[in-house]
Amino acid sequence: MTQHTTTAFDSDLREIGDAIVDMGARTQKQIVEAFDALVQGNARLAQSVRVADAAVDGLQQDVEMKAIGTIARRQPLAADLREIVGALRIAIDLERIGDLAVNIAKRAEQIGDEKWADDITVSLKAMTERVLGQLRRVIDSYARRDLEEALGVWASDEEVDALHNSIFRQLLTYMMEDPGNISLGMHLLFCAKNIERIGDHTTNIAESVHYIMQGGAIPGERPKISAIPVNNPAAYH
């Protein structure tokens, strides 16, 4: 590339990277507000999460268009191409994280101001804080090209799985003790599953950071704890 072309290409990459970081901040805010809406029974806050999703979707589309345009104009090779492809993958995962936060907000609207046991709130909060911490770390690893930090997020996914399985058993017991809790309990089960899936997308982002920096997949299997089989009620006891 000529100096002019290289400078223009670097500018394109900065714009893409800035959009990714912006998406990361916005999805973190969505997760926080969706959880708060859920535990507070705040329909207005839940609605704001849904409205905010349009901006996240727009940023994902901006990253896609910028990436396609950059590839067409600059025809990057090797590491430069990995930067663009990796950013595209990360943007898709962040957009899906935003969708999952919206799913929680929708459940919050359906639940309204129904109350449940405090220990369930504590468990859901612990799981939410865990995935939020992972998301912050992995976006920071992308911005700073910190491979060690990305690998740390990737290796910690089983911690989220363990929290999810624990909440699953907790909620099942809650519903079995009082059939009147079944509708509420099912809503909360779906919320917990959405939080767990946010954790999965966060580890996907860690894999994309590794791809950008190393040019391949992370060696070995992702640490994972099997989900409780929903077709085997005995597994919940």
**What gap in Å lies between CA 135 and CA 170, rounded to an integer?**
25
pLDDT tens profile 67-125: 999 999 988 888 899 999 999 999 999 999 999 999 999 999 999 999 999 999 999 99
Domain membership of residue 228 as a residue range: 3-236
- CATH code for the domain in which residue 60 is found: 1.20.58.220
**What gap in Å lies between CA 110 and CA 23, rounded to an integer?**
27
**How far out from the chain centre does Cα 236 lie?**
26
Tell me the whole-structure pTM to 2 decimals.
Answer: 0.91
Number of domains the chain contains: 1
Q: Are 57 and 20 in contact (CB under 8 A)?
A: no
pLDDT tens profile 182-227: 999 999 999 999 999 999 999 999 999 999 999 999 998 877 776 6
